[in-house]
Structure 1
């Protein structure tokens, strides 16, 4: 009985640490996947001579996955897609093949973007096309400690980087 009580006590003390560890791993995974997909989209645009889009999607795993029209309640946490935008309109149609799909990350409830960008369009030089302004994405919502959250900055040139924890700012040039 004493052993059971000791195990229960240890588990009670260790549970918050495991929650923090799980949250940190989920945020890190989400940030790394987003950065990898941004770099992939940018390099594919250069390789294909332009017309590659990375956009937020409400249902990225659907065969007819499309870009979301608005930020939605979860922002980019709902997932995203990368596709070759043959007609240059920034919207995926049936002829435009998916290059990558990122399903929702169950460990991240919010990925909010300043200015609510839902699409990043890359041209032949790897630079962002219109809207083409700098953006910042905040991984993790206010329910998480600021030290666990991450800010990813996207420059007008199309380069993405981690700015730091939830208190970091990107500046005017991403």
Structure 2
């Protein structure tokens, strides 16, 4: 007569091996998730900057991108980590007024992301030619990971690369 099922020793052995494999895999999976969040946020910011440039060229007028905490108004320079607005900047002040149409509002989905602008500026504006009013650099990172840097040049081109240093 053959054996049916598993013995308790065999079951404990399988559970122990599974536990060891999970202990090895979970930290690297967490790193993967953090890297993907960084890449996603950098991609979102880059694409929204390109949207602003395209809209400025298409409309022949100024379009700005500003840090925003609520998706309706511009916030302080430290607010890039919560989200940003792309809007038609009819008065050219870099701040969203009620009468200025919002092209896109973006909220950052996770609080672990840190997005900062090197010049501590709360907004950037594209002129009707697609050029920037000033070059800007953003750093997107999660503590303990290498982040991404986005450079927006005066020509309006946006480039990105990984940082060499680990984020604080």
Q: Tell me if TM exceeds 0.5.
A: yes
Deviation of residue 58 (structure 1)?
Answer: 1.4
Measured against aligned partners, the alpha-carbon deviations of 1:49-85 in whole angstroms (never above 9, x if no partner) come to: 112111110112xxxx1111x222xx41110010111
Unmatched runs of 5 consecutive residues or more in structure 2: 1-11
**Residue 145 of structure 2: aligned partner:** 145
**Residue 5 of structure 2: aligned partner:** none
Q: Are the counterparts in 2 of residues 57 and 80 from structure 1 also a CA contact under 8 Å?
A: yes
* CA pair 166-101 structure 1, distance change in 2 beyond 3 A: farther
Alignment of 1:37-116 (within 5 A): 37-60=48-71, 65-68=72-75, 70-72=76-78, 75-106=79-110, 108-116=112-120
TM normalised by structure 2 equals 0.84
Deviation of residue 122 (structure 1)?
Answer: 1.0
Which one of the candidate residues 11, 20, 36 is aligned to 1:9?
20
Divergent runs of 4+, >6 A? none
**Residue 9 of structure 2: aligned partner:** none
Q: Find the aligned partners of 1:28 and 1:13 in 2 and give their Cα distance.
A: 24
Q: Find the aligned partners of 2:30 and 2:61 in 1 and give their Cα distance.
A: 42
Q: Find the aligned partners of 2:157 and 2:103 in 1 and give their Cα distance.
A: 19
Larger of the two Rg values belongs to structure: 2
**Residue 34 of structure 2: aligned partner:** 23
Deviation of residue 120 (structure 1)?
Answer: 0.8
Q: Find the aligned partners of 1:5 and 1:85 in 2 and give their Cα distance.
A: 61
Structure 1 or 2: larger helix share? 2
Q: CA RMSD in A?
A: 1.6
